[in-house]
Amino acid sequence: MLRRAWKPLAASIIVAGPAYYYLTAREQTFEFPVKVKGSDGKKSEIIMKTLPLLSMKTVDSRLRQDATSETNSRPYGVTWHHTTSSLASNDPIEDAHSHQIIQSNDGTKGDLLFYTVFDGHGGRNTSQLLSRTLINAVALQLSQLAAASDSPSTKSFSDNLFGIWSKSASLGSWDVPSISSAIENAFVEFDNVLLDAPISILKQAVQEGKMSANGPVPDLSGNASGVQTLQAAISGSCALMALFDTAQRDLYIACTGDSRAVAGVWKPAVEGAKGTWEVDVLSEDQTAKNPKEVERLRSEHPTSEASNVVMNGRVLGGLEPSRAFGDARYKWPLAMQELWAVFSCTNVVKTESGCSLNQVYMVGNGTPLRKPPRTFKTPPYVTARPVVTHRKLSFDDPSSLRFLVIATDGLWDVLTPEEVVGLVGGHLAGLKGTISKDTLPSLVPTSIANAGVDGKAGKERSSGGGSWAFVDDNLSTHLIRNALGGGDEEDLRKMMSIPAGISRRYRDDITVTVVWWETGKEGDVTSTDVVVKSKL
C-alpha cells in the first residue's frame, strides 16, 4: 500500500531550466527530488538527485521479465486464457501470486480454476506463504464439503492439502451460500494456524525438555522453522482469490484487503449501436477509508474506543487495510504477545522488555519486533475473513462476463476500473500502437454496471491528456505499462528509472492477472475495423 498518494512525476520535479533530463555523450539522466533527513536528523528536506534514465529497450525488458501466459482448451468446449505479470518497487517484491486448475476425471463436467494475487506489507513472508498454500487450504475445505455430500461422484475429490491436485468432481447441487461459507472458513482457519504456529513451536520445545520453563529466557533464534513462522505471522498480506466452478457456471471472488477484482461484461451491438463493455467491480476495498469497514470496526469494539479504532484513515492509526492475513500485532492479545499466557515466565530472569516472543525468537537475530500500537486494548482489530462475491457465468450468451482482472492495489492506485476495462477491451479488439486517452473511449465504449466501493479515497491520479500504448502481447504487462506512463515514453522511462528505496514513494509493487475465455469466434469483441498507426 502506498504511503503517499501517487503523483505524476513531472509535477514533482523541481525544474531549474527548460528541461529536467539531459542527454550526455554516454547516457541520459534526469533530476529527481529525494526527501532526506536534515542536518538535525529530524526534519526532512528535499534535495535534487541526478539519476540515469533507462532506455526503452531496458524498460521493455524489465516490464516483460516476470510475465507469463497460459492457454487451456477443455473438453466442455471452452478455451481458457490467463496472463500474469509483476513489477517490483520494493526490493525484494512483497507481492505474490498463484493459480491452480483442478480438472474433473473425464474433463467433460467442468473444472475448478483458482487464481490469486497477494499484496504483502511489512515484508514478503506472509504473501509468499499464502501463494504456496492458500489455494490448497480452500480446496481442502471444498473437498470436506464434497465428502459430506450424498453424491458418490464427489468422493474422488482429493483431500490432500499439500498434494498436486489432479482430480476433481462435479460439485453437484452445492448451493452458493455453502461454497461461499467454505471459502470464508478456509481463509479464517488458515490465518488462525498461521498466527498459532510460532506459539506451538515454542510450546513443543518446552514439552520436549529442550528448555526449561523456569530457567533463563528461552532462545529459539536459531530455530529456522520458529523464526520463519513468526515472520509470517508478524508481517501481513492482503489476499484476493477468484474461483471459477465451470460445472455449475459460477464465479466466486474472495477479497481480504484492498486488492481488487474487476470484470468486463460484453454487451453486443444492437440495432446498429456499437457494442460496449460494462464494468463490474467485484470487490470492495477493505481499508479504514471505506465507510462500511469503519462502521464494522467500531461496532466490534467498545464505544470508548470509537475515536481510536480508526485514526487518520488507518486501523489504530497504523495499518491501512482493515482485513489481512498475519499482522499479529493487531490480533494477538497483549498477554500472548508478551507470552504471559502461553509460557511460564514467573521465575524467568526478565529483562527490561519482559519475557516476550521478541526475546525468544528475534533478539538473537538482531531484529526486534515492533510493539503493539499505543491504543491497543481489545484485539483483534484486523481479520482475515473475506467478503465473497458471486456471479453466474454463461459460455453461450454473447451478453455475458467475458474477462476478469485481479490485481494488487499498485495498479488501482493509478488506473480506474473503467480505464482497465477499456484497455483490456481494446487489446482484445486488436488495437495496436499509441492511442490518446481522449480517443480510446470512442473506440472501446464502456459503461458502469457496478462501481463497487472505493476504499482509496484521497489518492491522486493523473488528470487528462497523455496516451495509451498497445504494444504488449501479454495483457497483464499491457496494464502495468499503461499504469506507469503508457504511450508517454518519457514519463514511463522516468517512473521505471527510480531505484528501489525511492520508487516506493511513487509506485507500489504491482501484480496483475487477467483471465478470459472463448467458446469460438468472438465477433466484434476481438476484432475491430479501427486502424491505428503505431508511433513506436
How confident is the model over 130-168, as pLDDT tens digits? 999 999 999 999 988 877 754 444 333 333 322 323 333
Strands 510-518 and 79-87: antiparallel
Q: Record the pTM.
A: 0.85
Task: Name all contacts of 341-347 with Cβ < 8 Å and 24+ positions apart.
Answer: 342/199, 342/202, 342/203, 343/202, 343/203, 343/206, 343/213, 343/218, 344/213, 344/214, 345/217, 346/214, 347/214
Ramachandran class of 78: left when φ > 0, alpha when ψ lies in -120 to 50, beta otherwise: beta
* 3-state percent breakdown (helix, strand, coil) of the chain, nearest 5: 30, 25, 45
Q: What is the pLDDT of residue 418?
A: 97
Q: What is the pLDDT of residue 521?
A: 42
Give the mean model confidence (pLDDT) for residues 376-400.
Answer: 92
Instruction: Read off the pLDDT band of 8 (50, 70, 90).
Output: very low
Give the mean model confidence (pLDDT) for residues 369-386.
Answer: 91
Instruction: Read off the pLDDT band of 2 (50, 70, 90).
Output: very low
What DSSP state is assigned to residue 307? H
pLDDT tens-digit map of 313-369: 999 999 999 999 999 999 998 877 765 444 444 333 333 334 566 667 766 666 667
Q: What is the pLDDT of residue 192?
A: 97
C-alpha dist (Å) from residue 199 to 66, 122, 351, 378, 401: 36, 20, 20, 20, 45
Q: What is the pLDDT of residue 342?
A: 45
Percentage above 90 pLDDT, the chain:
57
Whether the Cβ atoms of residue 285 and residue 408 lie closer than 8 Å to each other: no
Q: What is the pLDDT of residue 219?
A: 73
pLDDT at 56 over 50: yes
Q: Where are the alpha helices (DSSP H) in 327-484?
A: 334-337, 357, 409-412, 417-428, 440-443, 475-483
Least confident of 72-86, 180-194, 390-404: 390-404
Query: Rounded to the nearest 5 degrees, what angle is found at the Cα of 500, between the Cα atoms of 505 and 490?
Result: 75
Whether the Cβ atoms of residue 404 and residue 281 lie closer than 8 Å to each other: no
Mean model confidence pLDDT for the chain: 81
Instruction: Read off the pLDDT band of 88 (50, 70, 90).
Output: very high
Q: What is the pLDDT of residue 365?
A: 66
Q: What is the pLDDT of residue 276?
A: 93
Determine the Cα–Cα distance for residues 492 and 167; give it in Å rounded to an integer.
45
pLDDT at 477 over 90: yes
